[in-house]
Amino acid sequence: MLSGVLEYQFMRNAVAACFLASIVCGLIGVIVVERKLIMMSGGIAHTAYGGVGLGYLCGFEPMIGAVLFSVGAAFGIGSIKRRGGANTDVIIALLWSTGMALGTAFISFMDGYPPDMSSYLFGNILTVTKSDLIMMAVLTVVVCLTILIFFNDWKAFLFDDSFSSILGQKTVLLEYLLLVLVAMTVVVLIRVAGIILVIALLTAPAATASLLSDKFKTRMIIAIALGLFFCFAGLFISYSLGIASGATIIVFSVVCYSAVYLIRSTADKRSLKTPVR
């Protein structure tokens, strides 16, 4: 059955997209969960819709527009975060909404409505093209190399950025670089899960891995493996049942996280009740 399915080019593209998406969501997702950057990641993801709309309006590749808007949002959100203040979340939410509004406005200026627009919003891994794969591969390589180069610096920065600053690390550079990597990861995941659902795919494997290990490197490895499992299982379930692939992957990943969480909670409660001898 598997070999028969892979005879189709769109399924081979989908499988390749699963591999690339799992790698980046495993690496960056662990950092996002550890640093509690989910709200910021959501702002970056939804801003990308403005770039997609601009790409359609101006006639260039929508994914390139998504990269430009996402990276721009990363720098903007990074600047807002460093300034701090009580209105930080409000401004991020406004950027979030503005990106979606701009995308909608750009699309409304067109004579017709792009037929595959919903795949950018909700994801459809079965529509991934060769050009999409090339861009996803390039961004994945950039993310992986950056994580590898700065791995030791990030371990200290993630767990105590004040101490990292005392050690002489360039924490400002690391923070902006992290947000740019989040932006690149979001673009890689857009074709798999869509702009609206991308945060769930970015966090579910990492959050599940955090229940299974406390070690930073081990959690990344587990998160990548879980990302592969979630994506492939969701892909073949959606293909077999004829339902939306992005939604299936997300629902499956959330169900798996919930199951692991319940098992872990039950095990912890039992260990607390066990009398010490």
Question: Tens digit of pLDDT for each residue in 64-80?
Answer: 888 899 888 888 887 87
Tokens 């709200």: give the residue: 39
Q: What are phi and psi of 152, to 5 degrees?
A: -65, -35
Rounded Cα gap, residues 5 and 12, in angstroms:
9
**pLDDT, position 223:** 92
CB atoms within 10 A of CB 186: 32
Mark out the alpha helices in 59-170 (DSSP H runs): 62-83, 88-108, 117-122, 130-149, 151-159, 161-166
Confidence of residue 1 (pLDDT cuts 50, 70, 90): very low
Q: What is the pTM of this model?
A: 0.82
Intra-chain end-to-end CA distance of the chain, in Å: 54
For residue 214, what are its two tokens? 């406390």
Residue-wise pLDDT tens digits, 213-238: 888 889 989 999 999 999 888 888 88
**Over the Cα atoms of the chain, what is R_g?**
19
Enclosing domain of residue 105: 2-272
In a domain, 152, yes or no: yes
User: Looking at residue 268, which CATH number applies to its domain?
Assistant: 1.10.3470.10
**Crossing angle, helix 216-241 and helix 171-212, to 10 degrees?**
70
* Burial tier of 268 (Cβ tally within 10 Å: 0-12, 13-18, 19+): exposed
Q: Which of the two residues, 87 and 24, has the higher pLDDT score?
A: 24
The number of folded domains in the chain is 1
In a domain, 277, yes or no: no
**pLDDT, position 259:** 93
**Residues 229, 235, 237, 242: what is their CA dihedral angle, to the nearest 10 degrees?**
170
Degrees to nearest 5, angle at CA 91 with 85 and 92: 110
